Amino acid sequence: MTPISRLVAVSVYAVLVVASSPVALSQAAQGSSDERQEFSSLLAKAEKGDADAQYRLGVMYFNGEGVPKNDAEAVKWFRLAANQGDVRAQFNLGYMYAMGEGVAENDTEAVKWYRLAADQGDADAQFNLGLMYKKGEGVPKNAVEAAKWYRLAADQGYADAQYNLGFNYNNGEGVLKNAAEAAMWYRLAADQGHTKAQFNLGLMYDDGEGVLKNDAEAVKWYRLAAAQGLASAQYNLGLMYADGEGVPKNDAEAYFWWNLAAAQGNENAKTNRDIVEKKMTREQIAEAQRRSAAWKPKKE
């Protein structure tokens, strides 16, 4: 069996850091007198230069919590806090520049603020700075620098960075190609429930690349990714059942997983499903279709 190619997409996972107690602040401007007083106190502190208060006001304006949503105001308060070295505000200001929210999109400015936060050890900023180097946004494209920043975030347990670093080792991007290192980083991300890492680790066991070939392990990791709804993993899991690799041969199970992948537009799965259907009874087909209709992805 020849499994499908590895996924190569790398997604941006850039999310604003929220205040530590957003619920307590959510109605501060418009709620009870105590809440209004709390908001007034926060605003007074921010206007006097309190970086934490400035950061929290930025979050409130970005989320529209207790005040009308206003990205420009969010940028204003993030900038004031960031200029005082608040790492959360530096990251958020970088995000605002990268996304063009509340300020004109400017990748160079995004990189500047991400770097300031990354240099303070912020894993989100380290990861996003790695992405900027990978894509050449705001800085010259540089796979070595991308791998450097991924590694710093990965060493802090950042699953997306672990996945990207594994991909770099698997493909020799910015680092010497090393399948064993790729498998190690994929495993660290996969153990945290990272779907694509689970799938790629399954491929490595399937192919015996960086690890000893082990069909049962390949099935294990394909199944975890397939259970989260990854169509490519569902397709490969179907192949394992169809060929009896790592699991007992089972056409009904192959049909089930291919049916799920086909529903997501996987044409190979649709073709294989229609082929294996000819070897199944009406009852088996009906049961597999019933299971497919009732199936829901399980997010870790």
Is the pLDDT score of 13 beyond 70?
no
For residue 129, what pLDDT is reported? 96
The pLDDT, as a whole number, for residue 64 is 86
The pLDDT tens digits for 126-165 are 999 999 999 999 999 999 999 999 999 999 999 999 999 9
User: Which residues neighbour 238 within 8 Å (Cβ) at sequence distance 6 or greater?
Assistant: 253, 254, 255, 256, 257, 258, 261, 269, 272, 273
- Average pLDDT (240-248) is 97
CATH class of 35-127: mainly alpha
Contacts of 248 (CB under 8 A, 6+ apart): none
**What's the CA gap between 235 and 258, in Å, rounded?**
5
Q: What is the structure's pLDDT at 17?
A: 42
Range(s) for CATH 1.25.40.10 in the chain? 35-127
CA distance 93 to 100: 10
> Per residue in 221-233, pLDDT tens?
999 999 999 999 9
What is the band of 5 on the pLDDT scale with cuts at 50, 70, 90?
very low
* pLDDT at 174 exceeding the cut of 60: yes
Whether 88 has a pLDDT exceeding 70, the answer reads yes
At residue 34, the pLDDT reads: 61
User: pLDDT band for position 81 (50/70/90)?
Assistant: very high
Residues 60-79 have a mean pLDDT of 92
- Provide, rounded to the nearest whole percent, the portion of the chain with pLDDT above 90: 82
89, 51 in Cβ contact below 8 A? yes
**Mean pLDDT, all residues of the chain:** 89
What confidence score (pLDDT) does residue 33 get?
61
Task: Point out the least confidently predicted range of 19-28, 89-98, 119-128, 263-272.
Answer: 19-28
What is the C-alpha separation between 255 and 39, in angstroms, rounded? 58
pLDDT in tens, 17-68: 433 322 222 233 445 566 567 778 889 999 999 999 999 999 989 988 888 8
Kindly report the pTM of this predicted structure: 0.87
